[in-house]
A = this chain, B = another copy of it.
Amino acid sequence: MAYVKEISIIGRVEACLLNPDRATGLEKLPTDSLTLTFDGITGDCHSGPTMLSDARTLKQYPRGVTLRNRRQVSLVSVEEMAEIAEKLDIPALPPEWIGANLLVSGIPDLTLLPPSTRMMFSSGATLIIDLENEPCRYPADVIERHHPGHGLAFPKMAQHKRGLVAWVEREGKITSGDTIRLFLPPQRLWNH
């Protein structure tokens, strides 16, 4: 009866990150664990029941429209960060530079996981994926500061490798070292 099915791939949480104040910049700080409520990550600048539309949704909404917050958590993978770093010719791309809350490993092509995939962590806390995250200019500037001459290609080089945004389906804690179970909706194309 259920239309999401668990797959055999199990991911792992490599790092948890927080940014209490967006005004100080995009960069986040490592932390031992994250507490998820239906508002998002407690203490993170992106938490809240709602968010305002911005440049990402200009084809749908003017700026400043109140929307349900579906960008509560930003996830990236060790594997994809390494690929982007290689393309940018820098030694490493730390997740804190690009505003991620979770660095995970063991999930191939993390960014391409289908919308509405469920990610269940060891505590039972569960995220639902909304969409791929769009590589934008802000991380480019951070990388450029650390590695002058290497950051500005980020939006192009990070295409389809910049991770996902997700929202909380079930409250709970996420801790470094957690396993991540994956429940996928049916995969098929809508041909119209």
Contact = CB atoms under 8 A, between A and B. Distances in A.
Nearest to A38: B68
Contact of A168 (B61, B68, B134, B192): B68
Interface of A: 1-7, 9, 38, 49-50, 55-61, 65-68, 70, 108-109, 112-116, 118, 120, 124, 126, 128, 130-132, 134, 136, 167-171, 183-190, 192
A60 B120 contact: yes
B171 A66 contact: yes
A115 B116 contact: yes
A62 to B, nearest CB: 10
Count of chain copies: 2
A134 B186 contact: no
Given A67-B169, A68-B169, A3 B132 contact: yes
16 contacts: A1-B56, A9-B192, A49-B49, A60-B118, A60-B183, A65-B124, A68-B128, A68-B167, A70-B128, A112-B188, A112-B190, A114-B190, A115-B116, A115-B185, A187-B189, A187-B190
A41 to B, nearest CB: 14
Given A67-B170, A68-B170, A70-B169, 7 more contacts: A2-B58, A4-B131, A9-B192, A61-B124, A66-B170, A115-B116, A132-B186
Contacts of A58: 2
A72 to B, nearest CB: 10
